[in-house]
Copies of this chain bind each other. A is one copy, B any other.
């Protein structure tokens, strides 16, 4: 309980993270440029040529959206913050902020293993720092509610490690064959989406359980000092 007390309220950490994610999600559209000076007859053909740009837009948006969703779900059991938690979150934002660049690079050089490596390594670095951050927050219930079950923590840790490993594997496969690498990236996204679908009700249940724990009121008061 002492640890929880010594942590700080974390509302502003979430605000700045949500802000960066919102901006990255919105900056991706700047890669879609309106073709200028065409006749009405030429327009449909030129828009059709933009199709690959739309695909990259949708894929990058999905990546960042999944990144935000996982941050939201995992962070919802973390109720306080400290220096290390804040610093690691900032490091995660550094890699998320790179996505408009790495997505544009991959969009222009879709067959290049180097471009896929840039995209995959920034995703892997984000995931790796996120895993470290999760480990820091949860060991000894350092920054979580003390009623959070060890089973849930362990399962979420396994999920994070698998996600991180998936991105490193994607980069490696890209150097074997760019197509296989892209396929691996899609598999990583689908699997992580499915994992969140399965995990979210367990996280929500853990929160509800913590809410009804006997010393909840006291911790809640501390939380509201923000």
**Residues of chain B lying within 8 A (CB to CB) of residue A5:** 208, 211
Nearest-neighbour CB distance to chain B for A53, whole angstroms, equals 10
Nearest-neighbour CB distance to chain B for A67, whole angstroms, equals 11
**Does more than half of chain A's interface fall in helix, strand or loop, or is it mixed?**
helix
Nearest-neighbour CB distance to chain B for A161, whole angstroms, equals 21
A28 near B97 with CB under 8 A, answer yes
**Residues of chain B lying within 8 A (CB to CB) of residue A211:** 5, 221-222, 225
Number of interface residues of A (CB under 8 A): 76
Name which of A21, A98, A211, A225 has the most chain B CB atoms within 10 A of its CB. Answer: A225
A108 near B36 with CB under 8 A, answer yes
**Residues of chain B lying within 8 A (CB to CB) of residue A101:** 29, 32, 34
A197 near B58 with CB under 8 A, answer no
Whether a CB of chain B sits under 8 angstroms from the CB of A224 is yes
Which residue from B18, B34, B111 sits with its C-beta under 8 Å from A105? B34
Segment touching B, from A80-88, A134-142, A166-174: A80-88
Whether a CB of chain B sits under 8 angstroms from the CB of A26 is yes
Report A's interface with B, CB cutoff 8 A. Answer: 5-9, 12-16, 18-30, 32, 34, 36, 38, 40, 43-44, 47, 58, 61, 65, 68-69, 72, 75-76, 82-83, 86-87, 90, 93-94, 97-98, 100-101, 104-105, 108-109, 111-112, 114-115, 118, 193, 196-197, 200-201, 203-205, 207-208, 210-211, 220-222, 224-225
